[in-house]
Structure 1
Amino acid sequence: MIEIDPQQLADRYMAQWNVRDAAERRAVIERLWAEDGTHILHPPAEIRETAAQLGFDHPTLEAQGYDAIETRVARSYERFVEKQGFVFRARPGAIRLNGVVRIGWEAVSTATGDVVGGGSDILVLDDNGRIKTDYMFPGS
């Protein structure tokens, strides 16, 4: 496994969520992610509650491969950055243990500078230092 500075990876990972230009966003994703990488989101409470009513005990939301990840990142950008005026940034303190990196992040209002949300991710890296699996936990 190649050497990766966990905080630099956290910063690059969070920066992808703020990229406005679609072509640049795709290029960032292809540098950051393995081709068959998977983003797995622990859904917000309202989605978990609705799923439980339908008989799904532990739902997850997944996007796999460059196209799906690009769609996921683009929709997040549209909803949170473009419409709500947030930017995403990594918190200090990312740590690496072998091929796994734990990061914390926050959503910041561009209007006030206030932190309005956040979460944590567990990134599993491939042998080239690209993200193979991303387990995202908003609100943590």
Structure 2
Amino acid sequence: MTDFTDLAQRYIAAFNESDDATRHDRIAGLFTPEATYTDPMAAVAGHDGIAGFVGAARTQLAGFEFRLLGPVDAHHDQARFRWEAGPTEVLDGPGDAPVIGFDVVVAGDDGRIAAVHGFLDAVPAA
């Protein structure tokens, strides 16, 4: 059985990883080789596609920290969780961040993430 809380924490850690090579290694350990990631900003596949997207998100949200927002809810091979991203000093309480999202992850047979279906609940105005 997949430990989805651990999986979600490792997922958030990959978004917080500043070193490109280490981030790519984390993603390779976390996602199946053919994994897909889809949200309103991107539709990518594979370790390179996901690592590229996460790197671009880190660039766009420079100085932001990602963290889980509440518990992970899971059953069968899927889980859902909320997360937030913002400057560390802004992350005083849950929901204070300028970016809040909701992701559903589906685990593959090996317990790694096979698919992410992401939603953005709050984003800064352009």
TM-score by length of 2: 0.86
Q: 8 Å contact 1:7–1:92 — kept in the other structure?
A: no
Q: Distance in 1 between matches of 2:13 and 2:113?
A: 14
Q: 8 Å contact 1:42–1:135 — kept in the other structure?
A: no
Q: Report runs of 4+ in structure 1 exceeding 6 Å deviation.
A: none
Which structure 2 segments of 5+ residues have no match?
none
- Structure 1 residue 73 displacement after superposition: 0.6
CA RMSD of aligned residues (A): 1.4
Q: 8 Å contact 2:2–2:77 — kept in the other structure?
A: no
Larger radius of gyration: 1
Residue 94 of structure 2 corresponds to residue 116 of structure 1: no
Q: Distance in 2 between matches of 1:21 and 1:106?
A: 21
Which structure 1 segments of 5+ residues have no match?
44-60
Number of residue-to-residue matches in the alignment: 118
Identity %: 30
Instruction: Report the 3-state secondary structure (helix = DSSP H, G, I; strand = E; otherwise coil) of the residue aligned with 1:20.
Output: coil
Q: Distance in 2 between matches of 1:117 and 1:62?
A: 19
Residue 62 of structure 2 corresponds to residue 64 of structure 1: no
Q: Which residue of 2 aligns with 1:100?
A: 78
Instruction: Report the 3-state secondary structure (helix = DSSP H, G, I; strand = E; otherwise coil) of the residue aligned with 2:2.
Output: coil
- Structure 1 residue 42 displacement after superposition: 2.5
